[in-house]
Amino acid sequence: MSYTLTVVVPVYNEEDNLLRVEQVFNDYFKIAAVPTQVLFVNDGSKDKSQELIEIICARSKGFEFISFAKNCGLSAAIKAGFDYTKTSLVGYIDSDLQTTPEDFNVLYPYIKDYDLVTGHRADRKDSFVKNMSSTIANKIRRAFTNDGMDDTGCPLKIIKTDYAQRIPMFRGLHRFLPAMIMLQNGKTVQVPIRHFPRIAGTAKFGLWNRLLGPLMDCFAYLWMKNKYINYEVAKKSDA
């Protein structure tokens, strides 16, 4: 089957969620706006995640995986997913399923006119502390990047693959995807999507790495922005 969209699903110790991911995506494949497949990226999980991933990929069509030799972090998992994508579009969703694959159908119509479409969790189902720390972190990031995004950490995105694969790698990358597309003179837009409470597994980010991490990463982004090389080929010789 020829696919149009590859959805990257980073996994780190999510054994309690993976069978639900399989079920939800098998349901979504039937209504997807375009032919869609899933690429699990196992970020060195220490539980039974890899065992479950291999079972899912063996029995369900449309699922593939790569597995890291050791834990490298969410940004590395997302970047690896982008690098291994072969379709023209690449998406991203967290394995905790606090967002739903169904909302890729909400994002998809916009990708014709934009190079990145990201969800905006307008009605987040998280704790007060988590919501407040994310709000503060987003304000800090916007002050540095001027990307105009209210919820850059939303784990539901569609990106044109050629743009995604040109994003340079650094820790904290997942917080700056819209800004990194804009560095390529790409167009970005945010679209309201649904959000749900986490019902299994544990969150991988706490108060301090939601606040201090983004602040430190902003300085890394500014350095990269000043050094970033962006060129456009106007003409080349015939092969």
For the segment 111-142, what is each residue's pLDDT rounded down to a tens digit? 999 999 999 887 665 555 555 556 666 666 66
Q: How far apart (Å, rounded) are the C-alpha atoms in residues 37 and 25?
A: 9
Region 82-108: mean pLDDT is: 96
Confidence of residue 231 (pLDDT cuts 50, 70, 90): confident
pLDDT at position 106 is: 97
What is the H or E stretch that residue 118 is in? strand 116-121
- pTM for the model: 0.83
Q: What is the residue extent of each domain of the chain?
A: 5-227
Question: Which of 5-14, 54-63, 106-115, 225-234 comes out lowest in average pLDDT?
Answer: 225-234
Interval 8-59: pLDDT, tens: 999 999 999 999 999 999 999 999 999 999 999 999 999 999 999 999 999 9
CATH topology for 5-227? Spore Coat Polysaccharide Biosynthesis Protein SpsA; Chain A (3.90.550)
**Alpha-carbon dihedral 116, 205, 220, 87, rounded to 10 degrees:** -30
Confidence of residue 197 (pLDDT cuts 50, 70, 90): confident
Question: Which of 44-58, 177-191, 225-239 comes out lowest in average pLDDT?
Answer: 225-239
Contact 46, 63 (CB under 8 A): no
Sheet harboring 156-160: ordered strands across?
63-67, 36-42, 5-11, 89-93, 156-160, 116-121, 188-193
pLDDT at position 147 is: 75
